[in-house]
Each structure stands twice: as structure tokens, then as C-alpha cells.
């Protein structure tokens, strides 16, 4: 059987305010029947544009050259790049379908999920409402939605994130297409849910016989699911190889760099040991910088809804110079704890003492003195800078506010030092935040947090918005600065591997409760809590051979 999709010399150019931008440049790819082809690359590499061109989903501003030949199961073929209007609609859904990144926005909130699945069926064939409904129920059962006869009439908000993604996949599978394009299908999901969705995508291949084009930046996901990998960079195809070959012996320099940048669990142990060895005697007896006992944070419910307990009976402490890694899935309360430590969220119960100030019931006036001793790095570097101030003015802001400098110009010397400390050239001080890339902005954010030489640094998912290779640089920088400056830190992340690289101790949060706390070796090497074990097991390892073993073990345990 011939290739399902054949992309020949594809070039896509977008017309933008800043002139034409070449997003994809001379890419040739083929998707074989019944395989999972992973297209990996960082943001802006053109992977999504390439995949969307398979369905002809590019916006009007795009100009497409080259051919995208799509063959259906009956042997017919069509060049999607040339099709338009009704011909294109015929091909979509029947020959190729799409699974989107964010399941909560891919489903229409005002229609039942059954209606939305049936819509695709009815658009392509004369089918009565009853038949479509029966088929929708059938497909929902096959993607693993329990009790589909009643669930078919439910609305998207009545499903969890993972179930919503199952429904989006069901929608894609409904017409039994030859190819499913999955654009970062698990990025918006938690690790434990991710494992289930990856499993379902694998079943799409095995049971439904569909080829899957998987777009992702997560090398763990690639190792878990893909048969073949295409690496893209700057709109060009860098390398194509079967998955094992690619991970074992990447040929191109960029692929090697990309693989080396992926954090792996276990790398941080050595670093933590070195740090532990360098600590002075009597360190254990020192007064902790932060100590929480039975900390409870409640968001009051609105309109007579019950209060939401975000953090419940959490106790931990951070000693001077120590890095505590806080891990948990979305909604586990990890960010809330970080915000409470910075005085951005009210503490409802228990005790949280930061640098000797009790945060429970503290007024802004009591907190302000310690503000100069606490630094904060925000998750999204794109929004944490005032867009109208230059980087130098932003970094100088804490110095000016706390009276260490008269004005931003006055603080320029110190700002230049800080920028150099985070490996940004001095001239970047005169740029505006939008003129920097994400990684550069996050380094500037680190410079701002360190401007007053804080004793405590709170980093709230500082690398989750960044690409892998950029993340590796920012994490290295963090580690280096920590060694030089010796601040205590709370490092919040959803990624165990990232936390492992930096943290001395790791605390695992689950639904607002602290389920496990200990050194990296203890928590990751010998997890006691079943939740930690599940978290570790569902984290895909960026190594296809090892991941296959892990998956076999995981499946054996599950059954």
C-alpha cells in the first residue's frame, strides 16, 4: 500500500505586518499506513503549519507552494494544496482528521458531545439522526468513555479534561479516516491523564488502523508513541529516522542538541549531593527561612457555592540556601502556596512564616518590609514585564522602589551587572520586552528577581512556557546563580524531571494536600505514596527502549 500522505517540497509563507514570513521551507514528508509519525520541533519550527497543511487548515494570509497529496482508503488521491471549497470539505474528516491541543476549546460548549460527533457523520453521508446517534455512542464506547448511552447527551463542561480529549479523538475517528493529525494532544493535560491519552492514540493505530501524525515538543511523548520521527527547525526538516535510531544515534547536530537538553530524572542527584557536602556545620539547626504548619488556603465560593479548599494542612520548611521543589498537577495548589508566600494570596488557616513574618492575617504594611528580601519569577515571561518600559527600567524597578537608586538611569550600573549575571548583553537593557525571545525574557525576569539580593526566591513554573533547549539554559543559569548567591528557593513545577535537576528536597502535592516530602533520592528513588508512584510511572522517559519496558510494566500493573 502506498503512502497515505505525501508532502512534496512544501513551502508556506505568511503575510504579516512585518512583511512575509517563511514558516515552512521545502519540507518533504511521507506518512505510511498504520504508523505514528512524530513531528518534533520547538515553537516556530513550522511543525504545526506543516501538519495543518495536510487538512488545508491554513489561514488566508498563508501562501502555499508544493504539493500535499492525500490518499484515501479506496485509493483515490487529492492534492490538498490545490483544493478549495466543497472538495476540501469532502476530504476533511473522511480522509484526514484533526485532534486539537486544547480539548476545552475544541468542543462547542452549547451542544451535546453526541451532537458534535454526529455532526461530522451527517456532513459526509446521508444518515438519519438515529443512526448517527447510535454510531456516536459506539465510537464513544470505543474510545473508553464509560456509560456512553447517557453520556452522549451531556455537554462538554460535564467531562474532565482527559475525557474531553477522548471525545475530540472520537470525533476525529468517527468517519474512520486514514490519517489523524494530533497537534500537541497532551500538552494541556496532566501527566497521569497524558499517559491514558497516549494509550488511546496508540489504539487509534492498532485497532482503528489509522496513521497518526503526532505534533509535539515533548521527547518523552515521542519515545512513548512514535514509530518514526521527523525533526524540524526554523521551517526546515532537519532529520527523519525511526524512533529508536533517532534516540540512539541522532545524526544532525540540532537533534543531538535537542535530545541533550531534555531533562531526565536522576540527573539532579549528583548536584544535590555536591550542594549538601558544601554546607557548613550546624546548617541543620539554622532557623528556617520559610516554615509552614497546617497551612490552609481557601478561595471563598461565590453565589452560594461551597468554598474551594486549594491548600489543606500543608507543612514544610525551607532552610537558608535550600531549594525546595514543589511538584503537582494542575489544581494541586502548588502555585497558591507560592503566591501565599509572596503575600499575593491570603492565608486562611494554620501558620506560614516567611523570613520571620507571619503571613496569616498580615496586612500589606507588615509584609512590605520583607518584599525586598523575597524575589519572584513568574510563569509566563511574556506578561510579567510592563510592555511600555525597557528591560533596564523593569529590572531597575525594585531598586527604585526600595530606595536603592533615585531613578532607572541611576540604577543602570547595577542593572548592567545583573544582566551580565543572567548572561544577557548590556545593550538588551535598552530594548522593550517584546523585542526579546521567551528565554531571554525569562532570564531578565530572573535578573529582576535577584536585583535586591533576596534571601528567598520563589520561582513559579519559570520554564513551563519555554522550549526544551531554552529551558535547559534557564535551569543551568538558575543552578549557577544559586551556587553563587546562595539564596533559599521554592521551585514550583509540574515536571518531576525539572524539579529533580534543581531541588534539594521535593514535596509532592495532590489536591491541596502534601502527599510526600523528602530528598530527591527518597521521593524519586523510593516513592512511598501511591500517587507519587503513579506520577512517576506515567511520566514518559525520553528513551524509546526504556519507555517500552516501563509501559509494559505499567500495563501489567494496571491489569
Partner 1 sequence: MAATASSPRASRWTRLPVLAQLRQSVGLQRGMLVTGLVLTAIFVLTAILAPALAPYGFSQLRGHDGAFGAQQPPSAEHWLGTTQGGYDVLSRLIWGSRTALLVIIVAVVASILVGVTLGLISGYFGGWLDRTLVVIADAIYAFPSLLLAIVLAIVISGGQSSMWGGILAAALSITVIFIPQYLRVTRAEVIRIKSEAFVESARVIGAGHARIMVRHVLRNSTRTLPLILTLNASEAILTLAGLGFLGFGIEPTAAAEWGYDLNKAVSDVTSGIWWTSVFPGTAIVLVVLGLTLVGESLNDLADPRLRKRAAGAEPVEDLGVDVGPDEDPATAATPETTKEAAL
Residue 375 CB, shortest distance to partner 1, in Å, is 8
Instruction: Compare residues 448 and 505 and give the one whose CB is closer to partner 1.
Output: 448
Cell of residue 165, nine digits: 480529549
Q: Helix, strand or coil for residue 401?
A: helix
Instruction: Compare residues 136 and 261 and give the one whose CB is closer to partner 1.
Output: 261
Where helices occur in 37-144 by DSSP H, the ranges are 47-54, 85-94, 103-106, 113-124, 129-142
Applying CB under 8 A, among 101, 353, 384, 463 the residue interacting with partner 1 is 384
Is 253 a binding residue for partner 1 by CB under 8 A? The answer is: yes
Is 257 a binding residue for partner 1 by CB under 8 A? The answer is: yes
Q: Which stretch binds partner 1 (CB under 8 A): 208-216, 296-304, 348-356, 383-391?
A: 383-391
Which 397-416 residues touch partner 1, going by CB under 8 A?
A: 397-398, 401-402
Site string for partner 1, 158-177 (x = CB under 8 A): --------------------
Applying CB under 8 A, among 100, 115, 208, 378 the residue interacting with partner 1 is 378
Greatest alpha-carbon span in the chain: 79
Instruction: Compare residues 115 and 378 and give the one whose CB is closer to partner 1.
Output: 378
DSSP label at 306? P
Phi, psi at 52, each rounded to 5°: -70, -30
Q: Which stretch binds partner 1 (CB under 8 A): 56-64, 283-291, 477-485, 510-518?
A: 56-64
CA–CA–CA angle 412, 414, 417 (5° rounding): 110
β partners of residue 459: 377, 491
Distance of CA 55 to the CA centre of its chain: 25
Is 467 a binding residue for partner 1 by CB under 8 A? The answer is: yes
Cell of residue 211, nine digits: 496513521
First to last CA, the chain: 35
Applying CB under 8 A, among 115, 247, 316, 376 the residue interacting with partner 1 is 376
Cell of residue 525, nine digits: 528513588
Residues in the chain: 559
Instruction: Compare residues 14 and 155 and give the one whose CB is closer to partner 1.
Output: 14
Residue 20 CB, shortest distance to partner 1, in Å, is 10
Q: Where are the beta strands (DSSP E) in 361-512?
A: 374-377, 456-460, 488-493, 505-510
Is residue 499 within 8 Å of 325, Cβ to Cβ?
A: yes
Instruction: Compare residues 153 and 435 and give the one whose CB is closer to partner 1.
Output: 435
Site string for partner 1, 327-356 (x = CB under 8 A): ---------------xxx------------
Residues with Cβ within 8 Å of 124's Cβ and at least 6 positions away in sequence, in order, are: 90, 93, 94, 175
Cell of residue 96, nine digits: 484526514
Q: How many binding residues for partner 1 (CB under 8 A)?
A: 66
Residue 542 CB, shortest distance to partner 1, in Å, is 18
Cell of residue 505, nine digits: 528536597
Which has the closest alpha carbon to 530: 512, 515, 513, 511? 515
Residue 191 CB, shortest distance to partner 1, in Å, is 25
Which 2-21 residues touch partner 1, going by CB under 8 A?
A: 14-18, 21
CA quadruple 390, 395, 396, 402: dihedral sign: positive
Residue 351 CB, shortest distance to partner 1, in Å, is 21
Instruction: Compare residues 15 and 545 and give the one whose CB is closer to partner 1.
Output: 15
Is residue 257 within 8 Å of 315, Cβ to Cβ?
A: no
Instruction: Compare residues 156 and 462 and give the one whose CB is closer to partner 1.
Output: 462
Is residue 216 within 8 Å of 222, Cβ to Cβ?
A: yes
Which 81-120 residues touch partner 1, going by CB under 8 A?
A: none
Q: Which residues bind partner 1 (CB under 8 A)?
A: 14-18, 21, 42-44, 59-61, 233-234, 236, 238-239, 252-254, 257, 261, 342-344, 368, 371-372, 374, 376, 378-380, 383-390, 397-398, 401-402, 420, 423-428, 430, 432, 435-440, 445, 448, 467, 469-470, 473
Amino acid at each position: 500500500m502506498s503512502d497515505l500522505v505525501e508532502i512534496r517540497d512544501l513551502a508556506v509563507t505568511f503575510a504579516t505586518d512585518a512583511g512575509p514570513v517563511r514558516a515552512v521551507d521545502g519540507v518533504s514528508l511521507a506518512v505510511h499506513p498504520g504508523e505514528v509519525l512524530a513531528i518534533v520541533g520547538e515553537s516556530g519550527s513550522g511543525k504545526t503549519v506543516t501538519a495543518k497543511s495536510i487538512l488545508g487548515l491554513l489561514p488566508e494570509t498563508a501562501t502555499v507552494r508544493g504539493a500535499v497529496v492525500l490518499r484515501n482508503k479506496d485509493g483515490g488521491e487529492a492534492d490538498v494544496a490545490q483544493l478549495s471549497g466543497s472538495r476540501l470539505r469532502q476530504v476533511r474528516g473522511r480522509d484526514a482528521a484533526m485532534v486539537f491541543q486544547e480539548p476545552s476549546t475544541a468542543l462547542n460548549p452549547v451542544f451535546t458531545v453526541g451532537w458534535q460527533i454526529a455532526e461530522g457523520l451527517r456532513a459526509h453521508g446521508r444518515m438519519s439522526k438515529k443512526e448517527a446517534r447510535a454510531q456516536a455512542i459506539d465510537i464513544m464506547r470505543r474510545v473508553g468513555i464509560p456509560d456512553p448511552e447517557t453520556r452522549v447527551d451531556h455537554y462538554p463542561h460535564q467531562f474532565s479534561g482527559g475525557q474531553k480529549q477522548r471525545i475530540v479523538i472520537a470525533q476525529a475517528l468517527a468517519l474512520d479516516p486514514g490519517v489523524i493529525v494530533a497537534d500537541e494532544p497532551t500538552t494541556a493535560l496532566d501527566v497521569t491523564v497524558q499517559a491514558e491519552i497516549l494509550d488511546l492514540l496508540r489504539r487509534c493505530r492498532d485497532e482503528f488502523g489509522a496513521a497518526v501524525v503526532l505534533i509535539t515538543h515533548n521527547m518523552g511523548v515521542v519515545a512513548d508513541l512514535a514509530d518514526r520521527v521527523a525533526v524540524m527547525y526554523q521551517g526546515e526538516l532537519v532529520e527523519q529516522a525511526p524512533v529508536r535510531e533517532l534516540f540512539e544515534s541522532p545524526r544532525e547536530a540540532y537533534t543531538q542538541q535537542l535530545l541533550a537538553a531534555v531533562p531526565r530524572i536522576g540527573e539532579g542527584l549528583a548536584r544535590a549531593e555536591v550542594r549538601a557536602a558544601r554546607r557548613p556545620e550546624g546548617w541543620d539547626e539554622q532557623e528556617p527561612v520559610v516554615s509552614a504548619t497546617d497551612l490552609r488556603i481557601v478561595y471563598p465560593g461565590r453565589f452560594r457555592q461551597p468554598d474551594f479548599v486549594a491548600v489543606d494542612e500543608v507543612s514544610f520548611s525551607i532552610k537558608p540556601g535550600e531549594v525546595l521543589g514543589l511538584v503537582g498537577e494542575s489544581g494541586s495548589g502548588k502555585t497558591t502556596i507560592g503566591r501565599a508566600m509572596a503575600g499575593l494570596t491570603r492565608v486562611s488557616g494554620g501558620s506560614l512564616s516567611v523570613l520571620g513574618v507571619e503571613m496569616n492575617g498580615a496586612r500589606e504594611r507588615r509584609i512590605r518590609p520583607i518584599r525586598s528580601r523575597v524575589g519572584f519569577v513568574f510563569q509566563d515571561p511574556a506578561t510579567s514585564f510592563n510592555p511600555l518600559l525597557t528591560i533596564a527600567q523593569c529590572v531597575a524597578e525594585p531598586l527604585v522602589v526600595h530606595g536603592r537608586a533615585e531613578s532607572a538611569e541611576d540604577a543602570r550600573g547595577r542593572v548592567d551587572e545583573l544582566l551580565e549575571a543572567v548572561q544577557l548583553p548590556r545593550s538588551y537593557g535598552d530594548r522593550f520586552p517584546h523585542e526579546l525571545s521567551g528565554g531571554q525574557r525569562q532570564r531578565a525576569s530572573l535578573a529582576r528577581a535577584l536585583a535586591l539580593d533576596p534571601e528567598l526566591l520563589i520561582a513559579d513554573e519559570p520554564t513551563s512556557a519555554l522550549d526544551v533547549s531554552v529551558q535547559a539554559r534557564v535551569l543551568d543559569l538558575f543552578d549557577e546563580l544559586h551556587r553563587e548567591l546562595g539564596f533559599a528557593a521554592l521551585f514550583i513545577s509540574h515536571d518531576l524531571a525539572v524539579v529533580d535537576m534543581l531541588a534539594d528536597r521535593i514535596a509532592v502535592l495532590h489536591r491541596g494536600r502534601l502527599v510526600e516530602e523528602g530528598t530527591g533520592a527518597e521521593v524519586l528513588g523510593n516513592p512511598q505514596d501511591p500517587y507519587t508512584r503513579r506520577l512517576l510511572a506515567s511520566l514518559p522517559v525520553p528513551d524509546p527502549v526504556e519507555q517500552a519496558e516501563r509501559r509494559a510494566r505499567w500495563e501489567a500493573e494496571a491489569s
